[in-house]
Amino acid sequence: MSAWRRPALAEPTDAVGPAAPSPAAPATPRDLDAFLASVERRAFRVAELALGEREDAFDAVQDAMVKLVRYRERPPAEWPPLFWSILRRQLTDRHRRNAVRRRVLGWIGRDDARDDDLLAAQPDPHEDPLRRQEDAEAWRALSRALQALPRRQRECFLLRELQGLDVAETARAMGCSEGSVKTHLSRAMSALRDKLGDWS
Amino acid sequence: MNRDEVEVAGKARAAFEHAVREIPVATANRLRLARRNALAHGAGRAASPRAARWGVPLAAAAALVLGLGWWQQSVAPDSAPVVARAARTPAAPVVPVVPSLPMLANDDEADLYDWLAEAPVATDARGDGAL
């Protein structure tokens, strides 16, 4: 299986800008603020990939944070699987709600597509435009390919491969057996290989 | 996982990590604000989620049971069938009717009635409720 390991958790900081990857071994912060700071960006990107809408992704992460705070008395070691489990439920609920909304809007002939984060669309003057374009293309291709996957396969890929949870943690977060995780992941990888064939 | 899948997974991770690092400034600020709001919102809600989840249904069930009990107590005596009410009423004691002495004609009659009241036949009849 993959040699991927859980990414090092970023240092809790209020500074904006790219989070510096830490070479230290990952450890769950003992402070809830630090823990949320370490996962909020990854959670946002996971939600964005799962939902395909930036605002929805932001709301899902915000709600997941509020819900996790209710479990602040739990041991810190339980926070990561708990947080990803809560976020997964948020994404599932919103995905279903959005599907119904799109269907209804489709019936009345309205397009629900939106992309209202204008700052995100602004080019960074310090970055190579060609590189930026390639990165944006790769991100969009990955997003499209993941959107086309069945929900459980998508969740499994996001948690296991991108977030780096191990099989047992992924199973806990998804509420299924470890065998199911392996099956979903295998199918997801096979489908992604077909959809992103030009990547390999 | 075959070689192609490993390569696709690696590129997906690279794209993901890049997107995490290069998150827009405005989004990073909003996430930071959301985190602070969540922590502030949760600070006053230390009650366990299990208690919160079961508290309301349990209180509603208790109120329902109490309400049903009160309703049964207030309605049952009037609406119960007459036969059932009669069955619940304890048997009234049998009181022998003894003629009052001033109505008797003389002392002989008074002795007669005293004797009758103590006689075994009268005692048996009172036991059967015939009087």
Residues of A in contact with B6 (CB under 8 A): 2
How many degrees, rounded to 5, is the angle at CA A129 between CA A128 and CA A131? Answer: 65
Distance between CA atoms of B38 and A33, rounded to whole angstroms? Answer: 10
Distance between CA atoms of A117 and A53, rounded to whole angstroms? Answer: 10
Interchain pair B24, A120: CB under 8 A: yes
Interface test with A, best of B22, B29, B36 (most A CBs within 10 A): B22
The minimal CB distance from B38 to the residues A58, A65, A196 is found for A65
Distance between CA atoms of A103 and A120, rounded to whole angstroms? Answer: 28
Chain A nearest CA to B57, separation (Å): 19
Interchain pair A44, B27: CB under 8 A: yes
Q: pLDDT digit string (tens) for A123-135?
A: 555 567 777 777 7
Please tell me the predicted confidence (pLDDT) of residue A138.
84
Residue A166 has pLDDT above 70, yes or no: yes
Q: How confident is the model at residue A60 (pLDDT cuts 50, 70, 90)?
A: very high
Q: How confident is the model at residue A31 (pLDDT cuts 50, 70, 90)?
A: confident
Please tell me the predicted confidence (pLDDT) of residue A178.
93
CA distances from A196 to A121, A164, B50, B60 (A): 24, 20, 44, 54
Rg (CA), chain A: 18
CA distances from B85 to A11, B71, B77, B82, B89 (A): 79, 18, 8, 5, 6
Distance between CA atoms of A44 and A61, rounded to whole angstroms? Answer: 6
Token readout for A9 is 């958790």
Distance between CA atoms of A151 and A132, rounded to whole angstroms? Answer: 29
3-state secondary structure of B117: helix
As for the ipTM of the complex, it is 0.71
Distance between CA atoms of A111 and A137, rounded to whole angstroms? Answer: 23
Residues of B in contact with A200 (CB under 8 A): 3-4, 7-8, 11
Selection from A20, A53, A36 nearest residue A120 by Cα: A53
Residue A173 has pLDDT above 90, yes or no: no
Residue with tokens 């994404």: A91
Distance between CA atoms of A29 and A89, rounded to whole angstroms? Answer: 23
Q: How confident is the model at residue A11 (pLDDT cuts 50, 70, 90)?
A: very low
Q: pLDDT digit string (tens) for B99-129?
A: 555 555 567 777 777 777 777 665 565 555 5
Highest mean pLDDT among A68-77, A94-103, B122-131: A68-77
Interchain pair A36, B1: CB under 8 A: no
Nearest chain B alpha carbon to A49: B16
Fill in the DSSP letter of residue A25: P
CA dihedral B7, B8, B9, B13 (to 10 degrees): 100
Please tell me the predicted confidence (pLDDT) of residue B4.
81
Q: How confident is the model at residue A152 (pLDDT cuts 50, 70, 90)?
A: very high
Q: pLDDT digit string (tens) for B21-64?
A: 888 888 899 999 999 999 988 766 554 555 556 777 888 888 88
Q: Chain A neighbours among B 44-73 (CB < 8 Å)?
A: 45-46, 48-49, 52
CA distances from B109 to A159, B32, B99, B102 (A): 111, 112, 11, 11
Please tell me the predicted confidence (pLDDT) of residue A127.
61
Interchain pair A40, B37: CB under 8 A: no
Q: pLDDT > 70: what percent of chain A?
A: 75
| Chain A interface includes B19 (CB < 8 A) | yes
Please tell me the predicted confidence (pLDDT) of residue A188.
93
Per the model's pLDDT, the better-predicted residue between B66 and A11 turns out to be B66
The minimal CB distance from A193 to the residues B4, B28, B32 is found for B4
Which of A95-109, A129-143, A151-165, B110-124 comes out lowest in average pLDDT? B110-124
The minimal CB distance from B21 to the residues A19, A33, A142 is found for A19
